[in-house]
Amino acid sequence: MSAVEFKSQGNAAFSAKEYAKAIELFTKAIELDPSNHVLYSNRSASYASLKQYDKALEDANKTIELKKDWAKGYSRKGAALHGLGKREEARETYQEGLKYDPQNAQLKKALEEVEADKFNDIPSLILTIILAMIGSTPKLFPEDVLVRIALNPTLRPYLEQPDFVEKIKAIQADQSQLNDPRIKDVFLFLLTGNVNFESREGETSEAETKAESTKPSAPEPQTRDVPEEEPIEKSEEELKKEAATKEKDLGNAAYKKREFEKALEHYDKAWELDPTNITILTNKAAVLFEQEKYEECVKICEEAIDIGRENRADFKLIARALGRIGNAYFKLGNLDEAIKFYNKSLTEHRTPDILGKLNETRKLKAKLEKEAYQNPELSDQSREKGNELFKKSDFSGAVQQYTEAIKRNENDPRAYSNRAACYTKLMAFNDALKDCETCIRLDPTFVKAYIRKAAVEFLKKEYTKCLETCEAALKHDTDGKHTTEINDQMMRCRMEMHRNDSQESLEDAIRKDPEILKILQDPVMQQILQQSQEDPRALRDHLKNPQVAANIQKLINAGVLRTA
């Protein structure tokens, strides 16, 4: 935390009478800001509250050293000296402070209290008594002596004796009446705060005996307490910060009402009072943003960031300013800068709002770049180059050209169809299928795309899908231009499906009759079967051989061969 934050917490602890905690917080603040006289003054007050007057005096002296003309420092020093029993030095300190601030009510009150404390100064009182006895002082007893006697439980019974009261009054008028032992007790009380009857030898009056039987134990000597400290003062800097906060709040209220010019006036006043609070600048930037003054908004946020770095502002505030710059650049159409500052904001502090704006801006940038790249003429040129490379069997080069054609015109189905043919040659069947499907989506009547899709499905041995695709192709081949090619594909597909069915029968037959395997492994029979597949009429000549005929019949019975 900053020195100001430690000081604020220290003030709160002092107000809660947690003086030890306050001292700890003020000490931390001093470590960060050792030239701040207010911090030493506040710690001095905390030490004085714990009656650690020597430390309070040390901090008070430091306060005066840093700020000689500040009356509060003399108030702290006087209080510490008073607490240490150095009343004369305290009086001089208060008088010194009044030279700088003659109307300071606290110093005046403290000075009166020190001067009124003369009855606790025994040597001074003794001098008063001596001077009274030799006639140098017209009056020995103070005006309120009878009140003081009434407040003392040991001396109070004397007031019930009329002659005692008369004698007190007489001594006030004539000091020759001092030899009465009761009067001596009063002087002893005035001198020491105690009355000790055992100190007298011999005579004891009736009133004294009565007082002795009823008097309580002698009270303990009272120590001098420093008057309670006034609340810890706020520095000029703190007062300015409070005023700045009020102005900022007024600006916020005006902003909510969309009274933007009024809001700017309050924010400017707040900034004059507290040029370290960057939230004032970011709020001002928000107003400029609403006024569509995006360049000014950026400048204010950049200033806020620089000042925030210097004053170690919260990283969340820095992130907010960076995000606001990103918003301004987005409105200006500078998407690269917007993305840049959104990323910087997320580096400082990650929030869902800025992350969403970053993703949105990236998508928009990609879309705009794609649209800017569109050029049908250049697309046709790239497609023609691809066709030339395809004829030369340079399928990889052709793919690159077709891809470029697609980037230039993503709505042309021909480039997808041609690239699918290249992928098929390169055995990239999945990519080929994807391009065929895109082509069909763009143009459902594009027969060539169906034919190429069926060819890929055939190579993948997806025969059922292949037939379905061929049927769709026939449906759209209204002029019959591709009918032969489609029918050939369907025939090859059915033959493979039949062969697969036969393969399954052969496996079953071999499991049932091992002789079937021997027939099929016979080289002569293999040649006969091959010739029969190419020319069914050749089988009639081979059947003239009884052995061959028997083997053929066995294969037919096993289902390996089928007759039409």
Q: Give, in degrees to the nearest 5, the angle at Cα 392 between 388 and 397.
A: 70
Strands (DSSP E) contained in 286-326 are none
Q: Which CATH class is domain 513-557?
A: mainly alpha
DSSP output for 183-233: HHHHHHHHHHS---GGGS-S---HHHHHHHHH--PPPPPPPPPPPPPPPPP
Question: According to the model, what pLDDT value does residue 268 have?
Answer: 94
Q: Amino acid identity of 200?
A: R
Decide if 413 contacts 429 (C-beta within 8 A): no
pLDDT by residue (tens digit) across 9-55?
888 889 888 999 999 999 999 999 999 999 999 999 999 999 999 99
Task: Say how far residue 431 (Cα) sits from the centre of its chain.
Answer: 46
Question: According to the model, what pLDDT value does residue 229 have?
Answer: 44
Q: Give pLDDT tens digits along the chain (564 positions).
A: 788 888 888 888 898 889 999 999 999 999 999 999 999 999 999 999 999 999 999 999 999 999 999 989 999 999 999 888 888 899 899 999 999 988 888 888 888 888 776 545 444 455 455 555 544 444 556 667 777 777 777 777 888 887 887 877 777 676 555 556 666 666 666 655 555 444 443 444 444 444 444 444 433 333 344 434 445 556 677 788 889 999 999 999 999 999 999 999 999 999 999 998 999 999 999 999 999 999 999 999 999 999 999 888 889 999 999 999 999 999 999 999 999 999 999 999 999 999 999 999 999 999 888 888 888 999 999 999 999 999 999 999 999 999 999 999 999 999 999 999 999 999 999 999 999 999 999 999 999 999 999 999 999 988 888 989 999 999 999 998 999 999 999 988 888 877 766 555 566 666 767 787 888 888 888 888 888 777 777 777 788 888 888 888 777 766 666 655
The DSSP letter of residue 560 is S
The DSSP letter of residue 138 is S
Domain assignments of the chain as residue spans, ordered by start: 3-118, 121-214, 276-372, 389-496, 513-557
Q: Which CATH class is domain 276-372?
A: mainly alpha
Residue 521's Cβ-side half-sphere holds a number of Cα atoms within 13 Å equal to 6
Question: According to the model, what pLDDT value does residue 133 have?
Answer: 52
Fold for 3-118, please state it: 1.25.40
| Residues written for the chain | 564
**3-118 and 276-372 have identical folds:** yes
Decide if 383 contacts 412 (C-beta within 8 A): yes
Q: Which CATH class is domain 389-496?
A: mainly alpha
Task: Say how far residue 509 (Cα) sits from the centre of its chain.
Answer: 76
pTM: 0.44
Q: Which residues contact 307 (CB under 8 A, 6 or more apart)?
A: 275, 276, 278, 281, 313
Q: Amino acid identity of 43?
A: R
Strands (DSSP E) contained in 80-169 are none
- Among all chains, which residue has been given the structure tokens 């910060």? 241
Question: According to the model, what pLDDT value does residue 217 have?
Answer: 41
